Amino acid sequence: MSNVPFDQLDGWIWFNGEFVPWKDAKIHVLTHGLHYASSVFEGERAYGGTIFKLREHTERLIESGRILGFQVPYSVDEIDAACNELLHRQGFTDAYVRPIAWRGSEMMGVAAQKNRINVAIAIWQWPSYFDPEQRMKGIRLDLAEYRRPDPRTAPSKAKASGLYMICTISKHAAEAKGYADALMLDWRGQVAEATGANVFFTKNGVIHTPTPDCFLDGITRRTVIELAKRRGYEVNVRPIMPEELDGFEECFLCGTAAEVTPVSEIAHWRFTPGAITRQLVEDYMAEVQPKRMAAE
C-alpha cells in the first residue's frame, strides 16, 4: 500500500446512493458518528473480482445498526449491488471493501433521534495485514492492558466503531514495543481476541478457540471453523484462561484483514507454526479465491 493519505486516494466512493469522486466524499465536523461513535461498519475482501461472503457482511452491517438503535436506509440487495458496482468502477479484482453507516449532523448531543443515517462504501487495495515476510514465520503479540468489556456494558454483538477504541490503544502500545499486535483478555480475565482478529490454539491435534460471548463472532472465524471440521479436526469452542497458553502448540489469528496468520509469540508464551496452521492457511485461501486456484 502507498503512503498517500486515505483522503487523497483516487477513484469513487458510494455515498448515500451516489458514486462521488473519492476526494469529495466528506462529512461535517459536527457529525454525530464522530463525536458519539454512533457508527457501524464492515470489513470485506474481494478475491478475483468476487467479494467473499458479501451478503453475510451486509446482513451484519444492518443488524449492527439495529443494535445501535438505527435503521440502515438501504436493503441488503441495494448495498450488495453498490459494493459490486463500486468494485467494478474502481477496476480492482483483489481489494478491501469498507461499508460504513453513521448518524449525521442534524442534531448534536447524546440524543440524536432525528439524525439522518448515512451510508458509504469505499474500496481500496490492501495487501497482507501483517508483514508478509514475517507472517508465515509467526507474528509476535503483546498482552493488552485493556480488556473486552462485559456485554452488559457494551453492544458486543455489533461491529460498532466505538468498540475499537481500546483496540487502537492496545495495538499502538504493542507496536511501540516491537510487537505486531496484542492479545486481549475479557473482563473476566479469559482469553478473548486480538485487536482486530479472532484467535485459535492447537493441542494434540485439537483446535481450541474462545467462546465469542463478549466479542465479535467473526465471519472469517466461522469460515475457519467450518474448514477445520471439513478436514476432520475437532474444534473446541470454550472459555480459555491465560495460564492454559503454556500447553498449546500452535496459535493463529483469523479475520477479513488478517486472513489466517500464524502466531509465534504472545508475551512470554511461545508457539511453533505447524501443520494445522499451514493447512488452514492454504484451505482458507482456496476457499476465498476458488476461481484463481482452479485456474492455477
As annotated, the active-site residues are 159
CB 262 within 8 A of CB 273: yes
* Radius of gyration of the chain measured on its C-alpha atoms: 19
Q: Who contacts 3 (Cβ-Cβ below 8 Å, separation ≥6)? A: none
DSSP, collapsed to helix, strand or coil, labels residue 47 as strand
Distance CA 112, CA 234 (A): 47
| Residues forming a β-bridge with 46 | 51, 95
| Residues forming a β-bridge with 202 | 207, 250
Q: How far is CA 223 from CA 101, 218, 261, 286, in A?
A: 25, 9, 14, 12
Instruction: List the helix and strand counts (H, then E) for the chain.
Output: 8, 16
DSSP, collapsed to helix, strand or coil, labels residue 235 as strand
DSSP, collapsed to helix, strand or coil, labels residue 94 as coil
- Residue 204, classified by CB atoms within 10 Å of its CB into exposed (0-12), middle (13-18) or buried (19+), is exposed
CB 174 within 8 A of CB 180: yes
DSSP, collapsed to helix, strand or coil, labels residue 96 as strand
Distance CA 166, CA 57 (A): 23
Buried b (16+ CB within 10 A) or exposed e, 114-132: ebbbbbbbbbbebeebbee
